[in-house]
Every structure is written in structure tokens, then in C-alpha cells.
Amino acid sequence: MDNARKLADAREEADRLARFAQARERDQVAAAEGLNAKRGKLDRVRRDAEGDAAALTRTRSAADSRAEDAWLRAEHAGIMSVFGEEEPPYVDAVAAAGALMDKRRRIVAELDGLLIARDRARADLLSARQEVERITGEQQEAEERIGHAAAVSPRRARNSWRTAWPTWRRRPGSR
């Protein structure tokens, strides 16, 4: 009867260890799936960050171009030449100056819009970089958990099985 009880205890322990090993395997699979999801999200965030950086570069280029246009050097020289050729009341020169001022207002308004877009692009880029750093940290943490689970689970199962095996079944010299 004592051997039957030991055998039943050993079977229960083996079943418990099998459940433990299955749980660790499920944990490892879940961690691997989580890691793959984090990698995918990291790739998406990196692409977004690259797109935000490109948008910032385009916005800066457009702002530079508009700033150069805002000086309107050629138009100003043209108006000044009309003033030199025309007699008072300078109707054509005043009309040309008014058109130049309207153009300058539009360009300055567009430049203001571009500066706002630049600031938004900078904020988006900063946010994307922070998201990349956060996801990279989570990815590293998940990889560490997977590595730890992979290292610990087989060792635990192996050590628990040795201690659970009935002593009457052990070979001499084994633990």
C-alpha cells in the first residue's frame, strides 16, 4: 500500500509538473507574441517618426523659400522704377505698391502658417521619438522576460521531477 501511495504521489507530482511546464510554455508563447506585436508597433512608430522628420524638413524648406519671397526685391525695384518714370499722382506706382503689399501680407500669413506647421511637426517628431524609446524599452523588457522564462522553466521542471520521483525507483548513485 505504501508503494501504491508513493506511486500515486509521484503521478500527482508529475501531473503538477506537466501543468507547470505547460503554463510556462503558454507564458513563453504569450511573451513572444507580445514581443512580436511590440516590434511591429516599433516599426510603425519608426516609420511615423521618419515621416515626421521628412515633413519637418519640407516645412523648413518651404519656410525658407517663403521668407526669401517675403523680401520681394525684384518687385520693389520695379515699383521704384515706376516712381521714377511716372508723374504725380503716381497712380500706377501706388497700384503696384498696393499689389506688392497684398502679396507680402499673403506671404507673411503663409509663413506664419508654415511656422505653426513646423512647430507641430517638431512636436510630432518629439512624440514619435518618445514613443520609439518607450516601445524599445518594452521590447527589451519582453526579451529579458522571454530569456528568463526560457532559462528557468526547464531547470525548474528538471529539478522538481528529480525530487518528486519515488526514492524506491532511484538507481544507486543518482540523486
Residue 175 within a domain: no
Q: Among the ranges 53-57, 94-98, 124-128, which has the highest mean pLDDT value? A: 124-128
Tell which wins on pLDDT, 73 or 140: 140
Q: What is the pTM of this model?
A: 0.45
Query: What CATH number corresponds to the domain at position 71?
Result: 1.10.287.620
**C-alpha span between 143 and 83 (Å, rounded):** 75
Is residue 135 assigned to a domain? Answer: yes
Q: How many domains does the chain have?
A: 1
Is residue 142 a contact partner of residue 34, using CB atoms and an 8 Å limit?
Answer: yes
pLDDT band at 97 (very low <50, low <70, confident <90, very high): confident
pLDDT of residue 159: 61
User: Binning pLDDT at 50, 70 and 90, where does residue 23 land?
Assistant: confident
> Rounded mean pLDDT of 86-114?
81
